[in-house]
């Protein structure tokens, strides 16, 4: 088991979304759809080979438009069956690697790290199922009364991706007959052996109701920065050099827009601020291009599967006027942040001649 280099991924997205009343995998999350967000995590993971998307026939056009910007050779699009089990079984027939991960299309917040630990478990034990402890007590209820008390310590909430050896999970599926199963680990447990468990992730929720779709998993962040304006320094804002008699006095390039933005992004992601991450006592950051620091923050975002919905910045400086530079700044930032330029709003204000500084406020919403 120890030497499987690549895994295929089956994304089960053919459900009826009965509780949503809308096709949940096509709903937007920030600037993406749920499905694109889910697919991207597997697509960008170095251990994932083929991605088998099991969807409803009605969603074929949407799925093609979602993957057309990617390497379509790596995808197989398969029409789902009447049940999840039937859909997954069809998907498995398109897999070619020795190992496979099976994932719910409606879990867009899965992280690359969780994929890593499921894969590691498959290599060690032949299977890997993410699970979380229960936040509340559990009771067995029959006819409106409690009839049993489960030991909560022994109970887990099961998530996906669930990883298996392809031949074993296919064998389990072929044996399942007419029995109803809720997930792959149940089928595996019934016909192969007890599957191994790995730690699940709180953020890796399954979108099942409109209630947990709207607003859930979105975080807000705010940041601020200020630099004194002095002669013989460049003025760089939003990664763009601006013609100016004075520039920002700073250890780095003094880009107040990017520094405010970095603090907004770090705070939204629950991280310490820019001074902790990139200390100005560290010679490595002397005169550093702040776009490099911002790209470093985006690496944290990618590792955690955080995405930016939109960014709003206010820059405050008396001279020069920034109006002509704002579209360039928005374009530059949107490229680094991986979002449309329309999702980056920048406003410019003055201090009415009361200050020899450049400062910026930034706010972000992320999912
Ligand atoms: Mg600064």
Question: Using one digit for the tens of pLDDT, what is the confidence trace for 186-204?
Answer: 999 999 999 999 999 998 9
Q: Among all chains, which residue has been given the structure tokens 């374009």?
A: 331
CA–centroid distance, residue 266 to ligand 1 (Å): 14
CA–centroid distance, residue 325 to ligand 1 (Å): 20
| Residue 346 confidence class, pLDDT cut points 50, 70, 90 | very high
CA–centroid distance, residue 340 to ligand 1 (Å): 25
CA–centroid distance, residue 360 to ligand 1 (Å): 9
CA–centroid distance, residue 78 to ligand 1 (Å): 50
| pLDDT of 47 over the 80 cut | yes
**Spatial distance between the Cα atoms of 363 and 293, rounded to a whole number of angstroms:** 18
**Spatial distance between the Cα atoms of 66 and 69, rounded to a whole number of angstroms:** 7
CA–centroid distance, residue 228 to ligand 1 (Å): 10
**Spatial distance between the Cα atoms of 192 and 185, rounded to a whole number of angstroms:** 10
CA–centroid distance, residue 217 to ligand 1 (Å): 29
* Residue pLDDT, tens place only, 7-24: 999 999 998 765 565 577
Q: Partners of 102 in the beta sheet?
A: 10, 162
CA–centroid distance, residue 358 to ligand 1 (Å): 10
* Residue pLDDT, tens place only, 247-303: 999 989 999 999 999 999 999 999 999 989 888 888 888 889 999 999 999 999 999
Percentage above 90 pLDDT, the chain:
76
Q: What is the pLDDT of residue 18?
A: 59
| pLDDT of 83 over the 70 cut | yes
CA–centroid distance, residue 311 to ligand 1 (Å): 18
């Amino acid at each position: 088991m120890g030497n499987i280099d690549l895994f295929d991924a089956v994304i089960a997205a053919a459900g009826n979304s009965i509780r949503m009343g809308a096709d949940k995998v096509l709903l937007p999350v920030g600037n993406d759809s749920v499905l694109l967000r889910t697919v991207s995590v597997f697509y960008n993971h170095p251990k994932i080979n083929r991605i088998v998307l099991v969807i409803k026939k009605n969603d074929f056009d949407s799925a093609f438009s979602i993957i057309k910007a990617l390497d379509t050779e790596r995808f197989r699009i398969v029409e789902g069956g009447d049940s999840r089990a039937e859909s997954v079984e069809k998907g498995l027939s398109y897999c070619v690697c020795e190992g496979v991960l099976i994932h719910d299309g409606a879990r867009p917040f899965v992280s690359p790290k969780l994929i890593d630990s499921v894969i590691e478990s498959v290599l060690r034990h032949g299977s890997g199922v993410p699970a979380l402890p229960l936040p509340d007590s559990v009771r067995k209820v029959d006819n409106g009364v409690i009839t049993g008390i489960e030991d909560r310590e022994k109970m887990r909430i099961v998530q996906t991706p669930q990883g298996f050896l392809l031949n074993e999970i296919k064998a389990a599926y072929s044996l399942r007959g007419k029995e109803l199963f809720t997930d792959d680990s149940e089928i595996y447990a019934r016909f192969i052996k007890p599957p191994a468990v790995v730690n699940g992730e709180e953020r890796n929720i399954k979108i099942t109701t409109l209630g947990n779709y709207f607003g859930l998993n979105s975080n807000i962040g705010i940041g601020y920065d200020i630099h004194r304006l002095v002669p013989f320094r460049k003025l760089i804002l939003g990664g763009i050099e601006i013609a100016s008699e004075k520039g920002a006095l700073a250890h780095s390039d003094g880009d107040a827009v990017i520094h405010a933005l970095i603090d907004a992004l770090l705070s939204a992601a629950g991280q310490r601020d820019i001074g902790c991450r990139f200390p100005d006592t560290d010679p490595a950051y002397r005169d550093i291009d702040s776009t490099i620091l911002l790209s470093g923050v985006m690496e944290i975002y990618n590792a955690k599967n955080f995405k930016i919905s939109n960014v709003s910045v206010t820059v405050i400086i008396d001279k020069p006027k920034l109006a002509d530079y704002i579209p360039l700044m928005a374009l530059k930032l949107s490229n680094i942040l991986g979002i449309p330029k329309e999702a980056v709003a920048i406003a410019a204000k003055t201090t009415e001649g009361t200050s020899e500084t450049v400062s910026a406020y930034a706010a972000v919403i992320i999912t």
